[in-house]
Amino acid sequence: MASALRRRFPLSMLAVGLLLAFDAMNAAQAQVVAIGASNTAGSGPSGGGVMPPEAYPALLEKLLRARGLNVTVKNEGHFGITAGAMLASLDSMVDSGTKVVIIDPAWNEMRLGGSRLDMQRNIAEMSRRLKARGIKVIAFQRWPPFYDGGGGGHPSAKAHVILAAQLLPQVMAALRH
């Protein structure tokens, strides 16, 4: 009886070790992708906004890591992109292994001749496709106060800090489920 327990003990420890390693590997692969236009990308000071390292995706990654999460936030912000173009590029922007996508549709749709309805339909279709892949979606269409970073129509550094803090609990909850 004792020798049978000794043989099983290493096997059970191996199983526990493998489960822990798998869990750690899963956490290491957790990824967030922020899709948007110049607001997401970081428009730079000449555009009245912030540089990419000061944009909300970089700030959100720092906040997540400060809470012990090994998460990468990929910035897929592209200047002048519309929600329709985001939809067309969705598969190339969102890698396998992505757990959460944040969508900031900006307002380029209307600026470039589309409508609010076009934008909403494109957001809905992006959300549907991502959810079908098992990816959690956080879509927002409103930036916090302190939006204008200097007359260029882009969010200020303060707005990026506020937005990253607002998104943090939503992203953490999405990563847990």
Domains annotated for the chain, with CATH where assigned, are 31-176 (3.40.50.1110)
Q: Which residue has the higher pLDDT, 150 or 51?
A: 51
Q: pLDDT grade, residue 146 (50/70/90)?
A: low
Percent pLDDT > 90 in the chain is: 55
58 vs 21, higher pLDDT: 58
Q: How many residues does the chain have?
A: 177
Place of tokens 């269409």: 141
Mean pLDDT of the chain: 82
Q: Say which residue the tokens 């506020």 belong to.
A: 162
The two tokens of residue 119 are: 């934008």
Closest alpha carbon to 125 in 77, 90, 93, 74:
90
Tell me the pLDDT tens digit for each residue of 32-72: 999 999 889 998 776 667 899 999 999 999 999 999 999 99
